[in-house]
């Protein structure tokens, strides 16, 4: 959040409410978690299928792991993003602009 203080201060000075800023930060965290979860799922699936192919085995990935991987990533990202989002929402525009 520290590197984005100028952006927060500018948005607050232009009339953005704290809730809007909190939603923006939380949404960014959740989207990064989703992208990371899908990326991990793709890399994991390619690894499983590649190894199974090299060994001559049939490859199988259970459906629950396909759903659980990105879901857990999103939940962890949301939990990790709550505190910075609330902190950014409480920042005063003058302090944020002054420290940027």
pLDDT of residue 1: 62
Under the banding of pLDDT at 50, 70 and 90, the label for residue 8 is confident
Condensed to tens digits (0 to 9), the pLDDT of residues 37-96 reads: 999 999 999 999 999 999 999 999 999 999 999 999 999 999 999 999 999 888 888 877
40: which 2 tokens? 């991990």
Residue 98 has pLDDT above 90, yes or no: no
pLDDT of residue 2: 73
Under the banding of pLDDT at 50, 70 and 90, the label for residue 12 is confident
Please answer whether residues 61 and 48 qualify as being in contact, where contact means their C-beta atoms are separated by less than 8 angstroms: yes
């Amino acid at each position: 959040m520290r590197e984005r203080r100028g952006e927060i201060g500018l948005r607050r000075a232009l009339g953005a409410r704290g809730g809007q800023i909190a939603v923006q930060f939380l949404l960014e965290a959740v989207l990064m978690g989703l992208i990371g979860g899908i990326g991990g799922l793709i890399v994991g699936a390619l690894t499983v299928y590649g190894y199974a192919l090299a060994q001559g085995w049939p490859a199988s990935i259970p459906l629950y792991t396909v759903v659980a991987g990105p879901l857990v990533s999103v939940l962890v990202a949301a939990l990790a993003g709550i505190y910075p989002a609330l902190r950014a929402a409480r920042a005063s525009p003058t302090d944020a602009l002054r420290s940027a």
